Amino acid sequence: MLVQKRGSSVRGSAWPRRLQKLYCLSVEQSQRTRQSYLGTMPEHGLCCLLLSLVIIVSCSLQSLASPTYRFPRFLGKFAGQTESHPQIEPQYETQYFEQRLDHFSFAELPKFRQRYLISTEHWLGPQRLGPIFFYCGNEGDIVWFAANSGFIWEIAPQFGAMVVFPEHRYYGESVPFGSKDEAYKNATTLSYLTTEQALADFSVLLTELKQNLSCKDCPVVLFGGSYGGMLAAWMRLKYPHIAIGALASSAPILQFEDIVPPETFYDIVSNDFRRESPSCFNYIKLSWGELKSKGQTNNGLEQLTKTYRLCRQLNKTEDLSDWLDSAYSYLAMVNYPYPANFMRPLPAHPIKEVCKRIDDCPAGTSILDRIYEGVNVYYNYTGEAECFELDDDPHGLSGWNWQACTEMVMPMSSSKESSMFPTYDFNYSSFKEECFKNFGVTPRPKWITTQFGGHDIHGALKKFGSNIIFSNGLLDPWSGGSVLHNISESIVSLVTEEGAHHIDLRAAGPDDPDWLVEQRTIEIKLIEGWIQDYHEQKKAAYSM
């Protein structure tokens, strides 16, 4: 029933005529698969049917007391690990651009150097209005995002496009105050790490770049995944004069305040496991209690240290819970249909594999031993690990946690009924206290929606804005906070049932399923349409 409602709603939406055929195929196909696992899901409303919870983090500035805080976790932490297994090795030049620290005041502050990667190899040049493909760098080293966004590099030649990957301020090499230590020192030095400043960086950089390359009329197309996808969508909305369109992949721009239920993220993670195996889901659901009981016994922490092959003695069970929670949540994000090495080397359909290991243990195996077998898939698929470090964030997440504690306040709960995680209710007062303790800053939880909207986004943008693709895979726990229905003729939603976190931005490969090939084809057609419209408009203006 629920499924029918969603299906018919999507199909009823306005859709660019040139793509109606392709899109209908895509919807019908996904309808079939959808029914296989949605039957048991709770209903939260039209946009957020499947949905659930989020994550956690051992806070980098100081360890958080129980109850564990659930900071929304994106992928940026892995972007520190540029050496590890890039998906592709794109060719580009590395450049630097001097930026103001505060674009929105005239306060005298030190400037900083923003790094950007640029390739003009396939660019048509200014005369032919060659497009500029601009990736909105997110919370990590831009080299890693460039290496893991093969789609953009692959399609650039057919568009004759220049490719630019600017780094987000305060990440990678683009840190103010001379060093990361100085930049991350306190709330005063961190205070300019905001989305609005990052968007202004991109806009100033693009304006200068276009001027220097004498291509002020060249159309800019924005790309971004995850937080970068949010930036791409917001930038198209805020700077329509600078970019003609945006592909915002897995961009949870609605994961704020009460726009979607706070259980959204963790419910989706849980459902990703349940659809593979209800028993696996149950083992995990039971494991938290087992863990807690074990930890309270004599030598319990020692035994857990041994069972889970930890490199250091476990101090409290919450650290282990966080580590497991983290694994499940990331597994849901990277639940790709082919073997991949995005954050870690993993097999195809990794959740299926995890559940197989958990379920297939000999009868009589304890729950905690089963969980160990399962989580080994995530943390040690290559079998090379001798022991495990629970702090899975060696590169520091404080930049993202600062953002989560200031503007990017994404309430995360997990419900007793639908989630396999420990029950947890987001409590803003405690969250606020924790942020103040960690960073000396008070969050502004309503600022993002004041600045960018979100409440009744369909109403607000139905006759405003254009040329945005929101692409989402429903396996991705972030999909629940994203735009899952078309808003207008040209602000559209591309939903794939079997997709995970911004899978469409990854390089094409021999194992890509048909729906992914098809999704990318649709995206290319839409972008071609934007550029074609732009050229026609220019031509009409010239001939006036």
By CB under 8 A, name the binding residues for its own copies: 102-108, 187-188, 190-192, 194, 196-197, 200, 203-204, 207, 216-217, 237-242, 406, 441, 444, 446-447, 449-467, 490, 533, 537-538, 541
Residue closer to its own copies by CB (options 425, 533) is 533
Residue closer to its own copies by CB (options 45, 362) is 45
CA–CA dist 245, 235 (Å, integer): 9
Q: How many CB atoms lie under 10 A from the CB of residue 458?
A: 15
Residue closer to its own copies by CB (options 290, 528) is 528
Name the amino acid, one letter, at 492: V
Give the DSSP H or E segment for 1.
Answer: none
CB distance 251 to 163 below 8 Å: no
- Distance of closest approach, residue 531 Cβ to its own copies, in angstroms: 13
Residue closer to its own copies by CB (options 258, 384) is 258
- Distance of closest approach, residue 165 Cβ to its own copies, in angstroms: 20
Residue closer to its own copies by CB (options 200, 324) is 200
CB distance 358 to 371 below 8 Å: yes
- Distance of closest approach, residue 464 Cβ to its own copies, in angstroms: 4
Residue closer to its own copies by CB (options 21, 241) is 241
- Residue found by looking up tokens 């939260």 in the block: 44
Pick from 518, 460, 485, 525: nearest CA to 17: 525
**What's phi and psi for 53, nearest 5 deg?**
-35, 180
- Distance of closest approach, residue 468 Cβ to its own copies, in angstroms: 11
Q: Is 501 a catalytic residue?
A: yes
Choosing from 44, 168, 349, 501, the catalytic residue is 501
376 CA to centre of own chain: 24
Bridge partners, 221 (sequence order): 133, 245
Pick from 15, 362, 138, 264: nearest CA to 149: 138
Residue closer to its own copies by CB (options 31, 191) is 191
DSSP string, 357-399: HHHTSPTT--HHHHHHHHHHHHH-TTS--SSB-S---TT--HH
- Distance of closest approach, residue 405 Cβ to its own copies, in angstroms: 9
- Distance of closest approach, residue 543 Cβ to its own copies, in angstroms: 14
Give the DSSP H or E segment for 514.
Answer: helix 514-542
Choosing from 476, 482, 490, 493, the catalytic residue is 476
Instruction: Report CA-CA distances (Å) from 367 to 288, 306, 354, 359, 389.
Output: 10, 15, 14, 10, 21
Q: Give me the helices (H) in 213-364, please.
A: 227-238, 264-276, 278-296, 300-307, 317-333, 350-359
Pick from 324, 340, 259: nearest CA to 291: 324
- Distance of closest approach, residue 189 Cβ to its own copies, in angstroms: 10
Active-site residue set: 226, 476, 501
